[in-house]
């Protein structure tokens, strides 16, 4: 990663100091800069945020001047979310999206690429939703919900007085899903994040 070494040198950072900032060994940094190994996706994002550049630039893509600062934060876009696996550990990263610094300061975020047509016309297949990780939302919110250990689904949420949960699609061709308190516990059904932004793809 030639550009990593360039960025570090432009800042006047010694290898040992930058390695400390990243929480890694100096030998690990040296192996990255010499091209023997590459950082994982999470570390690439961390390095890009540190220097205020894009992941693409780090990997040798777009040209960015040394004075360019990315004010936002880059987050991974997942093609799927598997049950029981921390978002940070998922390898199914299909892209990256930038969110602004003010939004990034309100929690932990990831992107999710939409599959299927249950949320049309508002949210279409291939669109990306920006999701703040949280285990509860309000009625009317759109959330990412894990049902029965399957892949995550994106639906509008309605909470019933008896503790039931209703997952409502935007597309009238699909039926709403009703889950009683017992089903929520036993299937299980749990909310993993709130959709806060839609990035439509053309």
List pLDDT tens digits, range 102-126.
788 888 999 999 988 999 988 998 8
Q: d(Cα 6, Cα 145) in Å, to the nearest integer?
A: 42
- Judge: domain 2-58, CATH 1.10.260.40: yes
Contact 17, 29 (CB under 8 A): no
**Which CATH code fits 73-199?**
2.10.109.10
Profile the chain (202 residues) by mean pLDDT over runs of 10 residues: 82 86 91 87 84 80 49 82 58 82 85 91 90 94 88 91 95 94 93 91 66
pTM greater than 0.75 (yes/no): no
CB neighbour list of residue 138: distance below 8 Å, 6 or more residues apart? 157, 159
Contact 22, 46 (CB under 8 A): yes
Dihedral pair phi/psi, residue 41, rounded to 5° = -60, -45
Contact 40, 20 (CB under 8 A): no
Catalytic pick among 155, 159, 187, 194: 155
Intervals of CATH 1.10.260.40 along the chain: 2-58
Intervals of CATH 2.10.109.10 along the chain: 73-199
Q: Residue 90: its pLDDT value, please?
A: 59
Q: Residue 27: its pLDDT value, please?
A: 92
Q: Residue 64: its pLDDT value, please?
A: 47
Question: Is 138 in a helix, a strand, or coil?
Answer: coil
Joined together, the tokens standing for residue 166 give 């209703």
Residue 5 known to be catalytic: no
DSSP state of 128: E
Q: Residue 68: its pLDDT value, please?
A: 44
Checking 151-159 for CB contacts under 8 A at 24+ apart, the result is: 151/80, 151/81, 151/82, 151/83, 151/115, 152/80, 152/81, 152/112, 152/192, 153/118, 154/112, 154/114, 154/118, 154/119, 154/123, 154/129, 154/195, 155/118, 155/119, 157/191
Residue 155 known to be catalytic: yes
Catalytic pick among 30, 66, 118, 164: 118
């Amino acid at each position: 990663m030639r550009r990593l070494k360039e960025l570090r040198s432009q800042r006047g950072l010694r290898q040992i100091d930058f390695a400390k900032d990243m929480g890694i060994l100096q030998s690990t940094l040296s192996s990255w800069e010499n091209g023997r190994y590459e950082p994982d996706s999470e570390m690439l994002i961390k390095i890009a945020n540190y220097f205020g550049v894009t992941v693409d630039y780090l990997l040798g893509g777009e040209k960015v001047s040394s004075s360019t600062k990315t004010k936002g934060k880059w987050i991974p876009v997942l093609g799927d979310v598997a049950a029981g696996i921390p978002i940070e550990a998922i390898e199914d990263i299909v892209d990256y999206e930038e969110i602004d610094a003010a939004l990034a300061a309100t929690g932990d975020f990831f992107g999710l690429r939409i599959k299927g047509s249950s949320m049309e016309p508002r949210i279409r297949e291939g669109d990306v939703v920006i999701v703040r990780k949280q285990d509860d939302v309000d009625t009317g919110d759109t959330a990412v919900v894990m049902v029965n250990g399957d892949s995550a689904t994106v639906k509008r949420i309605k909470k019933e007085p008896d503790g039931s949960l209703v997952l409502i699609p935007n597309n009238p061709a699909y039926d709403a899903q009703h889950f009683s308190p017992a089903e929520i516990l036993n299937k299980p059904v749990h909310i993993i994040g709130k959709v806060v932004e839609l990035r439509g793809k053309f």
